Each structure stands twice: as structure tokens, then as C-alpha cells.
Chains A and B, each alone.
Chain A
Amino acid sequence: MDTRDAHRHNVLTSGHRACSGCGEAMAARMVTDLIGPEAIYVNATGCLQVFTTHNQQSAWQAPWIHSVFANAAAVASGVEAALRARGENTPVIVQAGDGGTFDIGLQCLSGMIERGHDVLFVCYDNEAYMNTGVQRSSSTPHAVRTTTTPPGRVSEGKHQLKKDLISIVAAHRMPYAATATVAYFPDLKAKVEKAMSIKGPRFLHVLSPCPLGWDHDAGLSVTVARLAVETGLFPLIEMEYGAVSGVVRLARQRPVEEYLKLQGRFKHLFTGKGGAEEVRHLQALADTNIRRYGLLDADTEWDTNEASQAQRHGRGSYAAPGKEGAS
């Protein structure tokens, strides 16, 4: 086991083959270190599974299983049933990409939630089937360039809108569902901790930028995630038993162009007349989110400023090896 860092377990440790700057690796590293190694991790097929278990090596320092693309939620249901049948409370965590959650994995996810399994399902959403070469998923936002929704003479990229999965999940009237992203670690931390304190099916939707598929500089992964939130395109919300129970207020609203212009997957929107209309459409979608969730004026726990404030000596972080719980 790798013990280089005395202040956290590194449940997902170094040497994995993720692309430089991978937002999913970052998100998974954060989430699993917040949860710790005393849990069972069930992984769907996808980038995370591939880059962490390549060539007979494993970056995981906790019990971990991968089965097939669509069934992580069902496998986790079985693991949970087994553990609870033996009277063990070990947490069971699913990790899946947007493919394994929004599309091929949706049926098993729905079953897991409907049956009330005590499992936390974490979706790392990089908004396309990245592992297989950037093909679209139902999570891919409107007007994005992917290899199966390429812009061309008669197309501006993906026609459909991004599937509102959090609402679908929440409509199961389940205990806790939340969106989060890597740019706001304190918010992500609070949501993981809240999810871990609840029994029953729980769901976290973590936006995870992909420098390769989104076509941005590797060093900008956190910046891009921040802009996704600050434009209103990716609202940070919590839903409990079907109703919105919390939002992170936006300290300011940034125009969507600031977000789009950093990413090559939107480049085609800035080279022709048709693109301008799509940019306006995306702005309208962002504005709709803001109105719908009251992102600019909600009376909330904290806003994007407070959720990203850098503090002296950190905010206390992960469960450290040899210590109970997060410091």
C-alpha cells in the first residue's frame, strides 16, 4: 500500500493513466479520500475504471470491483445486501461516468433507488463517452461537438439538451441527491459528508471537466468547472425526497461566452452565424436554470465566494491514516 502522504489515505493513488489535468481523476480522488478506504467501491466501465486498473496494476487502495458498463448500481445493490445480511455497516459506493449513469446505467440506477438500497451512487460527469473517444451521451450539453454529434454544414453539434438527471433521480423521492463540482471543494466535501451521514439510496452528480474531450488547456480544469457553475449552466443544488432543499447562490453571474470560449468543443459556435444563435440559446438555458433554482437571490447556506474561499491552513480535509473521520 502507498503511504507517502500522512494526511490522507490516497484511496485513489498515483501512477494511474488518466490524461494530464483529468477532472474525473481529481473528483474521484477527492470523493474517495473524503469517504476513506473503509468502504466498498463498485465502478462502472469508463475512464475511471480503465485508467486506474490498466496493465495488471491498480491505483485503488480500498476494496474495488468492476463488472460491466450498465450494472454498477445493481452490483452495488448486491454488495450492500450481502453486507447488511451479515450485519455489517460498511459503506457501499458506486462510481460511474455519465454514460454509466444517464444512459446505459439508468435502469439499474432506478432499480437501486426504488428498492431503497443503502448505497451512495457518484456520477463523475464529463459530458460524453470519453473513454471510447468522445461520443455523445444524453449528458452532453446542447450544441457541443462530439464525434457522434459533429458540427458540419447542416449541424451545430448536439441537437438535444442535457438530460436533467438530477430531477429524474430526485423524482424517486429518495433521501438525498446533489450536484457538485471539483472547483468548490468545501461544497463537495459538505455534500459527501452529508450523503455519508444518511442511510438509503443517495446520489451525487459531480461535474468533471475533461481537457481532452472538452478541448481545453490541462491547467484549466478547475477554472472551467468554476465557470460552468458561475454561468448558471451547472447549478449546485441538493434535493431531498423530491424537493430542492438547498442551492449554492452565485456570488455573480458570468455570461456563458466566458465559459464557452475556453473550450474547443464549442469553437464552432464562434465561426458562423448559426453559432451565435446557439450561444444565445445556451445563455437562455443558463438564465432558465438561474430563475428555476433562484441561484442569484436564494437565501442559502453559502454562495460561490464562500464555497471557494481559500483559508489559512486549509479547511481540514480528509480522514487521515490512523485517525477516525475527517479532521
Chain B
Amino acid sequence: MSRLAVEPGSTVAYHSGDWRNQRPLYRDKWPPCGQTCPAEEDIQAWLALASDRQWQAAWRTLTERNPLPAVMGRVCYHPCERSCNRGHLDTAVNIHGVERYLGDLALKQGWQHQRISDQQQTQRVAVVGAGPAGLSCAFQLARRGYPVTIFDAQSSPGGTLSSGIPEYRLPKAVLRGEIDAILALGIELKLDTRIGIDISAETLCDEFAAVFLAVGALQPRIYPDDGYGGHSVMSGVEFLRRINAGEGLSLPKQVAVIGGGNTAIDAARCARRLGAEVTLVCSQDPHGSHGGHPGAEMPASLDEVVQAEAEGVSLLYRTGVRRLVRSGAHLSGVETARVDQIHDRQGRFNPLLFEGTEEFLPAGLAIFAIGQEVDWQGLEALIEPQAPGVFIGGDAAGQPRFAATAVGSGYQAAMSIIAFLTGTPSQYQHHDKAEVTFRDIKPEYYPKQARHEGVVKASPSLDFDERVAGFDTDDALAEASRCLSCGVCFECDNCWHFCPDAAVIKKDGGYAVDYDYCKGCGICAAECPCGHIDMEREAD
């Protein structure tokens, strides 16, 4: 080139990166949704795939940790949405709506789960309980080549999902569909089989290299029983089991349901559907009256309470039942009284009732849903003491009693079982990436968009048809696209556009900083919408 002109692009010989004292780093973070999901789903990842219309890939990513999305999309209490950073911007992403859409789509399309490993293991594992914990554990083991047999005392699988949750919240066909897809991995299911009766605990230990006890907590807490028989007084668990088993129950005109949890609400709404006038007697206060303080407020999910009221269930808050009132064998009602304190000095649930506040509530049936315990009958040999190779999870393990937690515990148990069987450290992958809060999000880059909801039937019809419809494809796409992708790059190109020094290089599927030229201004980090970029002081 003539000395009277300068070579184009020759400044690349000058490494302006020497100037900086801080450098940007692309770092994936763990968003709050994934942090709070009891099943530890990589929610951001499958929402991203869904927003790209990669539905099957999204379903596969989701089912890595949760093989029951159609179920969970309907029944999970979705703590992910409470922690969703989008809630600080406008409203949380309707994660459960998209989850349900993916689960329903998988059922419609007949998608099959894939094995992780083609190797066939020989050590057999027994899972006691075909509920969400047991199914999740069996799923994770079977994908990795382990022969699994699930035992369940009931005639149909699903545990509380089947026996406790009514059809209008979770259609049996949906539950059965997802269970069948799990079983299709080659899992053996033995129904109507109770350990200690149909098969002994010792046989279990002989024939199986490991045992997972996921028997749930289906033993109802003791309620007043004055000896007159179960047709006028029963537990919520029993009531729901019979309804879900398809028994045609004939109810008296008035029914009282005692309890404040989801079992109580489910029982109350089922009783309404069977034609009764229903009053729910709950010792706690309504939602929101104590700023969300657990224990003081009714624990049942607010959605369910709202729908119960819309369906005509009367709610009596801060009220307890002192005794049953009979005329002869016939139950004429319950005696209620106002609750003084809900918890005693030791913090146990132990409502104290005010004298002089008694009232008579007429009812021909009193359903008590005041808590459940684990029924260990038949399993004592395995747990007293807990033998090596015996693992416990789900509601039976004394953790928060949510279906999602059960699913999560099934995964953890499977990893522990494999570690036990192989003598290697557990492969349980606990995400240890940094958290990302709303302070790391740049709201300027996310215009407000209304949240999509599944359509609720306009006027509550008192049948067992599903109350809330699922998303159509457009809604699922729109909602998945509302995800802020907290802490995880979604290739918005901001850093690539803004770098004044062209020191951000675009590659397929992401970006890289060319540290030869990066002056460390920090604009990339400041303008990354999702907090993916960290600035670190340069080492001297």
C-alpha cells in the first residue's frame, strides 16, 4: 500500500485490552424458579425451548426431573411462580400453564420417554407406593437401565394423585396417561399388593437389592369417634378415596367438612358436586389476613378456596368443632366454637376454643380432614432400624407434603440408590450456580405483557369435568416467551451491539469476549437484560 494511505483494519495490531482493570464474564446463573422448584426442574431451559416452538425438546428437558408435567401443571402449588422475577415487572410467568400444555401435548402425540443409558443393569429395585415419589424414583432408575418393580396396595396407581385429588382438578385419563408413559420404560407394576400382607418385608429384601418406601401419609389423624359408625363421620382421605374410586356415594342434605388444607377443600367441593350443602369449618384465618404467615392462615391454596366459594361452599374461619351432636345414631350436626389460639406454647397445632361461643351447625355427615400420618404397618422390619438399602421419600419422609416435593425426592432417592448399588458417589446434580434476583434484571428491555391464564369455566357447574382449560399453542408460546431468562443468555444481541470496541464476537449460539481489545467499560454487563454478565476486577 502507498505510504500516503493507511492499511484498513490495521488497529487490530493494538491490543486495547491492556487498558482495562475489570473484565466481563459470561456466567449462567440459576434463576429463582429453578431454585424454588421442589423437583429442581430447569424451568428456564424448557421455557426457552417452548418459546422456540421446540415442544418435544422442551418436554424432554422438563421430564429430566419431573415425568408428570400434565399432572403437575394442574395440581402443583407452583412456588416457581411466587419467586418468578417477572412478578416484580408485571405478573409472574404462567409456568404451570406451559408445563401442563407440554404434558398434554406429549400425551396427545404419544411421545415416549428415552433411556439415558442403554446398559441393562441386573440389580433389581423395589419401589413401595405408586404415588408421585415412587413413580419419579422408578422413572429415574428405569431410564438408567435398572429393573424396577412398583408395589401398591391400591387397585390403581397414582397414590394421592389418584385417590386424593378429584377428577375436576386432575382427570384420571391424564394421570393414567402419564403413568403409562413412565411404565413403558419397562417398569413392573404390582397393584393390590400390600407389604406385610401380600408380600413380606423379608421377601422384599431378598429379591431386591434396594427398596424405596414411598408410601405417602394416608393415615388420617384421629378425629372424634363416638362409636356410631363411619357412614356419618369419616376422614377426608377416606371420603376422597371412595369418590375417586368411582363409588356412588349418597350424601345427606347438609355436610360439614372440618379442616383447612387441600384435602378439606377437595372434600368440600366433591360433596357440593354430589348435591350437598357444604360448610367448611377451619380453625385458621382467611388468606392474607396475617400477611401470608403460614400456620395462622388457611393452608389450602387460594385458587381452590376461591373456586370452592364460587361453587357455593360456605366457609367458617377461626372455628373449631368441639363435639358431634346426635339424635340416636343419626348425626344431626356438630358443635362449633370460636378458636382462641391455633398453636400451643410448644408451637404445635392445638386449637383452643373459647367457652361460650358454641354454635350448632346442622350436618348429616361430618368429614374430618385434619391431618395425615404415615401408615408404617407391615414395614417395621425395614425401618426399625432403617436398613442399608432402604430409602424413604415423599410424604412418608416428613418433608413438606407437596406432589412436586415428592417428585424431587424420588429423583434424589434414585441417585442415592444407584450410589448405594454401585458403591460410587451419588450422581445427584444439585445446581450450584449463582442466584439471580430482580436487581440483576434490566426491566427496560422487557415491555409489560399481560399474563395468559387457562380459561376457567364461566359459571361454576357442579360436575366433575375439568374446571380450568389448558393453553392453546398460541397462549403457551406467548407465555413461554414472557420468561425473562434470568441469568441465562437468550441471544438478544445487546452486548454484541453495544460494545464500543467490537470486542464481543458473535458465535453460533452465543458470544465471546475478545479480551485483546475489551477495555472493561462494563456496558455489556450493564445492558444485559437478564443479568448473565458479571464484571470482575482484573487480576494484576
Contacts and interface: CB of A to CB of B under 8 A. Distances in A.
A57 interface: yes
Contacts of B503: 14
A311 B517 CA distance: 27
A144 interface: no
A76 to B, nearest CB: 19
B494 A310 contact: yes
A216 to B, nearest CB: 11
A17 B16 CA distance: 7
Interface string A310-325: 1111110100000000
Contacts of B9: 1-2, 10, 13, 58-61
Given A57-B10, A310-B492, A4 B505 contact: yes
Nearest to B527: A222
Given A222-B527, A306-B447, A310-B446, A18 B501 contact: yes
A279 interface: no
A160 interface: no
B491 A308 contact: no
Contact of A312 (B10, B490, B501): B490
A310 B496 CA distance: 13
Interface stretch (B123-131, B296-304, B518-526): B518-526
A57 B13 contact: yes
Contact of B10 (A6, A58, A309, A317): A58
B6 A29 contact: no
A23 interface: yes
B520 A20 contact: yes
A222 B498 contact: yes
Interface residues of B, number: 51
A97 to B, nearest CB: 15
B260 interface: no
A312 B491 contact: yes
Most chain A beta-carbon contacts within 10 A, residue among B6, B445, B496, B521:
B521
Interface residues of A, number: 57
B523 A219 contact: yes
Contact of A58 (B7, B448, B517, B523): B7
A217 B535 CA distance: 14
A53 B514 CA distance: 21
A57 B6 contact: yes
Interface in A4-58: 4-8, 10, 12-18, 20-23, 25-26, 29-30, 52-53, 55-58
A325 B188 CA distance: 60
A53 B6 contact: yes
B505 A312 contact: no
A125 B52 CA distance: 39
A14 B10 CA distance: 9
A25 B12 contact: no
A15 B11 contact: yes
Contacts of B8: 1, 58, 60-62, 64
Contact of B498 (A56, A182, A315, A317): A182
A310 B521 contact: no
A293 interface: no
B458 to A, nearest CB: 33
Given A7-B506, A15-B15, A317 B521 contact: no
Contact of B11 (A14, A26, A220, A251): A14
Given A5-B506, A221-B521, A221-B523, A14 B492 contact: no
A20 B521 contact: yes
Contacts of A312: 48, 51-52, 481, 485, 490-492
Interface in B454-491: 481, 485, 490-491
A16 B17 CA distance: 11
Contacts of A309: 445-447
A166 interface: no
Given A17-B16, A21-B522, A56-B6, A8 B506 contact: yes
B497 interface: yes
Contacts of A16: 11, 16, 501
B298 to A, nearest CB: 39
A144 to B, nearest CB: 22
Residue of B11, B444, B493 with highest tally of chain A CB at under 10 A: B11
Contacts of B15: 15
Contact of A59 (B11, B52, B516, B520): B11
B529 interface: yes
B340 to A, nearest CB: 50
B45 interface: no
Contacts of A223: 526-527
A61 B12 CA distance: 11
B517 A251 contact: no
A20 B502 contact: no
A40 to B, nearest CB: 13
Contacts of B514: 4, 14
A305 interface: yes
A310 B497 CA distance: 12
A117 interface: no
Contact of B493 (A17, A64, A314): A314
Contacts of B502: 5, 10, 12-14, 29
B500 A222 contact: no
A51 B64 CA distance: 52
**Which of A5, A52, A310: most chain B CB closer than 10 A?**
A310
B446 A58 contact: no
Interface string B251-272: 0000000000000000000000
A57 B446 contact: no
B519 A20 contact: yes
Chain A CB within 10 Å — which of B15, B502, B520 has the most? B502
B492 A314 contact: yes
B10 A311 contact: no
A20 B516 CA distance: 14
A69 interface: no
B174 interface: no
B19 A20 contact: yes
A46 to B, nearest CB: 16
Given A218-B521, A219-B521, A310-B445, A26 B498 contact: yes
Given A13-B502, A251-B447, A310-B492, A2 B12 contact: yes
A210 B491 CA distance: 27
Nearest to B442: A310
Contacts of A5: 502, 505-506
Given A61-B8, A314-B493, A18 B527 contact: no
A14 B501 contact: yes
A179 B514 CA distance: 31
Interface centre among A15, A58, A61, A314 (most CB of B within 10 A): A15
A191 interface: no
A182 B496 CA distance: 13
Contacts of A14: 11-12, 16, 501-503, 514, 516-517
Chain A to chain B: the 9 pairs with minimum beta-carbon distance, closest first: A219-B522, A15-B11, A314-B493, A21-B521, A305-B447, A14-B517, A25-B500, A310-B445, A310-B492
Given A17-B14, A185-B497, A311-B492, 19 more contacts: A4-B505, A5-B502, A12-B502, A13-B502, A14-B11, A14-B503, A15-B11, A15-B15, A20-B521, A23-B500, A26-B498, A26-B500, A58-B7, A219-B521, A219-B535, A220-B526, A221-B523, A308-B445, A313-B491
10 contacts: A1-B9, A15-B14, A15-B501, A16-B16, A21-B500, A23-B500, A26-B498, A57-B6, A58-B11, A219-B526
Interface of B: 6-16, 19-20, 48, 51-52, 444-448, 481, 485, 490-494, 496-503, 505-506, 514, 516-517, 519-523, 525-527, 529, 535
